[in-house]
Amino acid sequence: MAKLSLVHKVPTQEKVVAFTFDDGPHPLYTKELLDIFHKHNGKATFFMIGEELNMYEAIAAEVHMAGHEIGNHTYSHPDLTTLTIDEARTELQRADDTIRKVTGKHVLNFRPPFFGVNDDILMLAAEFGYHSIGAVNGEAKDWEQPGVDFILDHTRPTIENGSIFLFHDGYGERAQTIEAVRVLVEELDAEGYRFVTLSELFGIADLQL
């Protein structure tokens, strides 16, 4: 059996990338992202925290209705590696139930808070049927609000077919992230890239095998 690990990119010959956003939904920043991707006819994946989704369920429903994907980012955003396996399972299950209440669909993708995984957590996610998702541009550290140029300079070198990008739309001030994403989407659109959900990205890769 292949060793389980976080997926940072998906091999594909097509010019497609997956933008992902953690820690939402948020009534301002998530809606701004919906506008950006609507303008460029693209889709993204939003890794939502169950507690935040309960607060802003209408925003989550808007994300789903617009054709974007919602992934599991736990219920209360703990480092799962500090919990017992039963506590971690409860975090994933509560978030899964909360998301399914909005979408009516199986949740397919999971990102651990702080990228906190070990073999047990990866196995647990696999039990749920999830892909465990990383990212290629972790050095952009948009969650630290390092400046728009810093985020761009540490994301642009990671761009290639099948790249998975990490950004944040909740848990704090995210104006820098929104502006950086706006710039990146415009640049990549001009270069002929398409913006797809993670499930679409995995589907494209499977077709090419």
pLDDT at 1: 43
- Cα separations in angstroms, 193 against 70, 93, 157: 22, 35, 15
pLDDT at 116: 97
Task: Write down the residue that tokens 């077709």 correspond to.
Answer: 207
pLDDT at 206: 72
pTM of the model as a whole: 0.97
Please identify which of the residues 22, 96, 142, 169 carries the catalytic annotation.
Answer: 22
Residues of the chain predicted below pLDDT 70: 1-2, 208-209
Residues 175-188 pLDDT 10s = 999 999 999 999 99
pLDDT at 2: 56
Residues 42-59 pLDDT 10s = 999 999 999 999 999 999
Please identify which of the residues 73, 142, 168, 169 carries the catalytic annotation.
Answer: 168
Share of the chain above pLDDT 90, in %: 96
**Is 168 tagged catalytic?**
yes
pLDDT at 189: 98
pLDDT at 205: 86
**Is 23 tagged catalytic?**
no
pLDDT at 3: 74
